[in-house]
Structure 1
Amino acid sequence: MQKIYPIKYPKLSDSYWVRGFCFFLTTLFYACSSLDSTELQPNILSTRDYLMQEKGQFCVFSVHQISYTLNQKATESLFFEKHIVIDYPNNEGVLVAIFRKNQENTNWIETGRKLVVLQNGKIIEIQSNQTQCILVNPIEVGTRWNFQLYSPTKAQQAQITRLLPPMTYSHKTMSNLVEVELFKDSSALSLQKKQVFFAPNFGIVFSKESNVSYCYEGKCLGKGQINYGTIITYELIDYGKE
């Protein structure tokens, strides 16, 4: 009868196997860390890519507004805005017409226009005699700039706060989104803040602007109870080309 010898398994205490096992764990750790860090790193690193790209392109937003009045119940309203590119001057920006309607089955009414231009790597929005810088290079967390250009008041600091994971708007999953805080002035008495999400080829797909004053008397002081003001939110619900 053939003699069967038992198989000798290596001990984890053997230095060779310990080194190999540690190398495997280290490699696995760095691979996972690298994946986590690159998933949110945008592939598009230029402000040009965060503009609407062609004539006839449009975006439709659902707009939700909450209005507060002193000693009265807050009121809510919902309407829709359509932003459509009507000209593409010199491939350095877009002229956008803005339409509005209060109900889905009514006609669009033009309410204004804005010029969104690319100048020295900055996206500048010109509307109603206001010139605002809404995004700059490099597209990296921590990038800061002056949002309110040519303003006689103090400079308002904007900054890129986050690189966002893929998000879905109007049944389209979008990648390389960037969160920007365009301005923030916060205290126990008031809040002025605007937060926006940029998506490649669309520009802004979400925004929330708060301009409210808090109660400053008695027990409500410092508790965030709103006396008056507005909070308005835009969210992309449709897009296409005409």
Structure 2
Amino acid sequence: MQKIYPIKCLKLSDSYWTRGFYFFLATLFYACSSLDSTELQPIILSSKDYLMQEKGQFCVFSVHQLSYTLNSKPTESLFFEKHTVIDHPTHEGVLVVIFRKNQENANWIETGRKLVVLQNSKIIEIQSNQTQCILVNPIEVGTQWNFQLYNQAKAQQAQIIRFLPQAIYANKTMSNLIEVELFKDSSALSLQKKQVILAPNWGIVFSKESNVSYCYEGNCLGKGQINYGTVITYDLIDYGKE
């Protein structure tokens, strides 16, 4: 009868297995960390990329406004705004016409115009004799600048708050968005704050501005009870090119 000899396996030491296991964990952790950091960093790193670029581009916003008065419930109103690029008056800038209507099936009525330009890597909006700086380089969390660019007496600090790798606006997925706090002046008595979200090629796709005064008498002090003011929110509901 033929003898069957057992197969001898090389015996690996416990230390060998331990070193291999830790090497695997380290490699996996590094790969995951690299993936996360890549997802959280925007691909587009220039302020120029957050401008509307072409004639005919348009953005439609649903605008929700809450108006507060003393001893009354807030008044709620809803209307629509359309921002359309109609010209390129400068090499790196667009002229935008603003339309408004109070109901979806109503006709658009022109209410104003604004010039949006890129100057020294700064996105600047000029409207109704007001000049405001919306974004600057570098596109990094923590970047700060003066929102009231040409009004040193009324300096308001803006800053990039965070990156949004992806978000859905107007039922479409957008990538490489950034959230910016254009100004904030907060106290126990009042709040003036504006925050926006910008998307590449389209500019601002969301905006919320608060300008309110809080109750300062009796037990309501410090509780955020609004006496007067407005809170207005712009949400992108449609965009494209005509």
Q: TM-score, normalised by structure 1?
A: 0.95
Q: Which runs of 5+ in 1 are unaligned?
A: none
1:101 aligns with 2:101: yes
How much does 1:149 deviate?
Answer: 2.0
Q: Distance in 2 between matches of 1:75 and 1:157?
A: 30
Q: What secondary structure does 1:94 align onto?
A: strand
How do 1:29-44 residues align onto structure 2 when only pairs under 5 Å count?
29-44=29-44
Match of 1:225 in 2: 225
Contact 2:58/2:240 (8 A) holds in 1: yes
Distance 1:9 1:102, change over 3 A: farther
Q: Distance in 2 between matches of 1:10 and 1:186?
A: 68
Q: What secondary structure does 1:29 align onto?
A: helix
Q: Which moved more, 1:169-178 or 1:147-156?
A: 147-156
Match of 1:175 in 2: 175
Q: Distance in 2 between matches of 1:135 and 1:102?
A: 30
Q: Distance in 1 between matches of 2:41 and 2:166?
A: 11
Contact 1:10/1:17 (8 A) holds in 2: no
Match of 2:22 in 1: 22
Q: Distance in 1 between matches of 2:8 and 2:227?
A: 79
Distance 1:9 1:199, change over 3 A: farther
Match of 1:215 in 2: 215
Q: TM-score, normalised by structure 2?
A: 0.95
Match of 1:197 in 2: 197
Q: Partner amino acid for 1:14? A: D
Q: Which runs of 5+ in 2 are unaligned?
A: none
Match of 1:186 in 2: 186
Q: Distance in 1 between matches of 2:69 and 2:4?
A: 94
How much does 1:17 deviate?
Answer: 1.6
Q: Partner amino acid for 1:157? A: Q
What's the % identity of the aligned pairs? 81
Match of 1:126 in 2: 126
How much does 1:8 deviate?
Answer: 5.4
Q: Partner amino acid for 2:194? A: K
How do 1:105-184 residues align onto structure 2 when only pairs under 5 Å count?
105-151=105-151, 153-184=153-184
Q: Partner amino acid for 2:185? A: D
Q: Which moved more, 1:77-86 or 1:1-10?
A: 1-10
Contact 1:65/1:233 (8 A) holds in 2: yes
Q: Partner amino acid for 1:195? A: Q
Contact 1:47/1:122 (8 A) holds in 2: yes
Q: Distance in 2 between matches of 1:15 and 1:136?
A: 54
Q: Distance in 2 between matches of 1:178 and 1:7?
A: 61
Match of 2:66 in 1: 66
Contact 1:43/1:176 (8 A) holds in 2: yes
Q: Distance in 2 between matches of 1:213 and 1:73?
A: 15
1:5 aligns with 2:12: no
Contact 1:170/1:236 (8 A) holds in 2: yes
Q: Distance in 2 between matches of 1:187 and 1:84?
A: 37
Contact 1:164/1:179 (8 A) holds in 2: yes
How much does 1:3 deviate?
Answer: 3.1
Q: Distance in 2 between matches of 1:127 and 1:41?
A: 32
Deviations 1:163-191 (A, max 9, x none): 11300111210000000000000000000
Q: Partner amino acid for 1:3? A: I
- Runs of 4 or more above 6 Å deviation: none
How much does 1:192 deviate?
Answer: 0.3
Contact 1:142/1:160 (8 A) holds in 2: yes
Q: What secondary structure does 2:153 align onto?
A: coil
Q: What secondary structure does 1:38 align onto?
A: helix
How much does 1:6 deviate?
Answer: 6.9
